[in-house]
Amino acid sequence: MERLEKLLRERHPLLELRVNEPMAKHTTFRIGGPAALMVLPKSVDEVKMVLKDARELEIQPFFLGNGSNLLVADQGYPGLVVKLTGEFENIFATPVSPSDGIAHLLAGGSVLLSRLSRQAQERGLTGLEFAQGIPGSVGGAVTMNAGAYGGEMSQVLLQVAALGPDGRETLFSGENCDLSYRHSRFSNGDWLITQAVFGLSPGDPEEIASRMQDFARRRQAKQPLEYPSAGSIFKRPPGHFAAALIDQCGLKGLTVGGAQVSEKHAGFVVNRGGATCTDVLELVRQVRETVLRRTGVELEMEVRVLK
C-alpha cells in the first residue's frame, strides 16, 4: 500500500487519504482493526483516478458503504478501501411525470437510506417507507437488494450508475440489475455504485410519515437497536426463518466474549461491549453447528467478513 499511497499523494494532492484507519469507526458492528489505506473521493473524476492508479499497481479496492453488513478482522485489512463522500451524498428529485404519475429521486451511492426515505416523505413521495430504519447506504442497499416489511429495492429501483473494474461508468436499468433475495449483479464487489434512481408515487406526507413511524416502533420493539450489530447475521434459509430456528435451539443469550446472540431477536448477534471479530465468528460457528445438529438446517452468514 505504500507505493499506492505515494503515487496518489504525488498525482492527486487534494485527495483525502487515511493510513491505518480504524475500521471499527466505519462499521455498525463497531468492530475491526485498521485498513492499510482508505481513500475518500468526492467526485466521479476522483474515483476514476484512484481506480486507474490502483489498476496500475494491480491492487483490487474494497468499496465501503456504511459498513452495516460488514465484519472486519481484528488485525484489520491490508488493502485499499474506497469510501465515497462529497457529491455522492447528494439527493435530487424530478417533478411527477404527467404521463406515468411517477417522480424520480436521484441519490448518490453514499446517501444513507434513513436520509433518503425522509427526503421522499418530505417531498410527498411514497415507496421508500420500508427503508427508514435500514442502516445502510444506497450503494450497499442496491448491492444487497435490501428490504424490510414487505418492501425492497427491486420495487422502486429504476436505474443504477456504476463504475466497473476497468473504471468505465455504465448505466443499468433496474431490470438489468439481477435483483433477488439479498443479491444483485453487483454482489461480487467488482462494481462501485455511484448513483441510483428511484421511481416513487405521490402520496400524502402525513400518511407516509405515519407508516414510517409505525415501522420504527416495530423495529424498536423487536430489534436490539441499543447495541451495535450488523442486522440479521444469517440469510433466510429456504422454508425457514433463521431467528426462529436459533430461538428453537435455546440459543438466545449465548455469549462469546463481548458478542452475544441477542436476547430480544435471535437473528441478531450484538456487540455488548468490546466484542472482537474472533468473538463474533466463534459465536456464529457455535450457532451454526447447534442449529444444524438439532434441526438439519444449515445457516449461511449474510454478513460479509473482510480480512
Q: 236 and 208: one domain? A: no
In a domain, 146, yes or no: yes
Which runs of E-coded beta strand occur in the chain?
17-22, 34-39, 62-64, 70-72, 77-83, 91-93, 103-108, 125-126, 147-148, 151-152, 157-163, 169-173, 192-202, 229-232, 255-256, 259-261, 268-271, 304-306
How far apart are the C-alpha atoms of 126 and 103, rounded to whole Å?
Answer: 10
Euclidean distance between the first and the last CA atom of the chain, given in angstroms as a whole number:
15
In a domain, 59, yes or no: yes
Domain CATH for 118: 3.30.465.10
Provide, rounded to the nearest whole percent, the portion of the chain with pLDDT above 90.
Answer: 93
Spatial strand order in the sheet of 34-39: 17-22, 34-39, 77-83, 62-64
What count of residues does the chain have? Answer: 307
Domain CATH for 230: 3.90.78.10
Q: 14 and 29: one domain? A: yes
Q: Which of 117, 184, 232, 262 is catalytic?
A: 232
Q: 208 and 111: one domain? A: yes
Does the structure show a pLDDT above 90 at 97?
no
pLDDT of residue 189: 85
Of 155, 185, 212, at which residue does a domain stop? 212
Of 212, 233, 259, at which residue does a domain stop? 212
Q: 188 and 98: one domain? A: yes
Active site residue 206: no
Q: How many domains does the structure of the chain reveal?
A: 3
Across 282-307, average pLDDT: 97
pLDDT of residue 167: 85
Active site residue 262: no
pTM, 2 dp = 0.92
Q: 148 and 236: one domain? A: no
pLDDT of residue 235: 92
Of 68, 83, 98, at which residue does a domain stop? 83
Residue of 257, 297, 249, 250 whose CA lies nearest to 281? 257
Write the DSSP symbol of residue 214: H
Q: Which of 55, 282, 302, 304 is catalytic?
A: 302
Does the structure show a pLDDT above 90 at 272?
yes
Active site residue 302: yes
Q: What domain range includes position 140?
A: 89-212
pLDDT, averaged across the chain: 95
pLDDT: is 13 or 182 the higher one?
A: 13
Across 68-81, average pLDDT: 97
Across 79-85, average pLDDT: 97
Domain CATH for 9: 3.30.43.10
Kindly indicate the confidence band of residue 181, based on its pLDDT and cuts at 50, 70 and 90. Answer: confident
How far apart are the C-alpha atoms of 157 and 92, rounded to whole Å?
Answer: 15
Q: Which of 182, 211, 272, 304 is catalytic?
A: 182
